[in-house]
Amino acid sequence: MIRFDNLSFGYTTKKLLYKNLSLTIDGGSIYGLLGKNGAGKSTLLKNMVGTLFPVDGEIQINGMVPGKRQPSFLRTIYYIAEDVFVPALTIKQYKNLFAPFYPDFNEESFYKYLEGLEVSVDGKLNKLSFGQQKKFVIAFALACNTKVLLMDEPTNGLDIPSKIQFRKLIASVMNEDRIIFISTHQVRDLENMIDNIIIVDDGNLLLHASIANISDKLCFKTLAETPAGVNIIYEEKTLKGVAVVMENVSGEDSKLNLEQLFNGVTNNPEITKQIFATKN
């Protein structure tokens, strides 16, 4: 479990990226953290792994404080930064050096993930392309089998086939005790993969909801014209009509569109809050 208690952090006390953030993240779920560039998503992840520190409030991950950087904590969490760094080592050398820090590392799974992501096992890691380096780090992180996996823009640098394989691998490693927390602004890459969504903007938590809850509360449709008498958080003219995200007053089933959801929530936070506060 990850718990944020009135968390505030930023570059200075006068320029906070997040203000009094409070929420609980449970195991067994894949969370998508969505926000604009510069919204502090990467900074939040660094606070979670303990390389940056809050101005106020507290983070606890499975009962431990990340900022203390205790070995008992570090072996349970893995953080993949957006811009990965790999040393001038072979894959075997890297594994032999870093795998012992993670007691649940699975070597067989590691090479299986590398094969699935089509990563070359020959030569030095720093000679691979950025996309190959990114896939290598993803394979290693998954093989560590940590309880918490933090990923910052993991699909950057991946081609379309690799993104598909990445989604398959993430789904295959989930269990009821694990938390996978993915920060991205490329919302389309997360569709059909995550089961909980967190949207932040201007230092504020605008939405924290499961996919099931979002489907209950909102309806995604394309209509001939904008409907009247219903709460609408997003509308866009398209060649087929008007794409709308509106309150689901009739219990309809519709296909979630993360891009439309994100735009709607960030542009109409008060209406969104009103909709999600209403009991079905």
3-state secondary structure of 247: strand
Provide the pLDDT for residue 14: 65
Query: Which pair of structure tokens corresponds to residue 94?
Result: 């890297």
Q: 96-129 in b/e burial notation, b at 16+ Cβ within 10 A?
A: eeebeebeebeeebbbbbbebbebeeeeebeebe
Local confidence pLDDT in tens for the 280 residues of the chain: 999 999 988 766 666 777 888 999 999 999 999 988 777 888 899 999 999 988 899 999 999 999 999 999 999 999 999 999 999 999 999 999 999 999 999 999 999 999 999 998 888 999 999 999 999 999 999 999 999 999 999 998 899 999 999 999 999 999 998 999 999 887 778 878 899 999 988 778 899 999 999 999 999 999 999 888 899 999 999 998 999 999 999 889 999 999 999 999 999 999 999 999 977 5
Provide the pLDDT for residue 149: 97
Provide the pLDDT for residue 280: 59
Provide the pLDDT for residue 15: 67
Distances (CA, A) of 20 to 30, 63, 119: 23, 20, 42
Which domains are assigned to the chain?
2-202 (3.40.50.300), 209-277 (no CATH)
Specify the pTM: 0.91
Instruction: State the DSSP H helix or E strand holding residue 53, giving kind and residue range, or none if neither.
Output: none
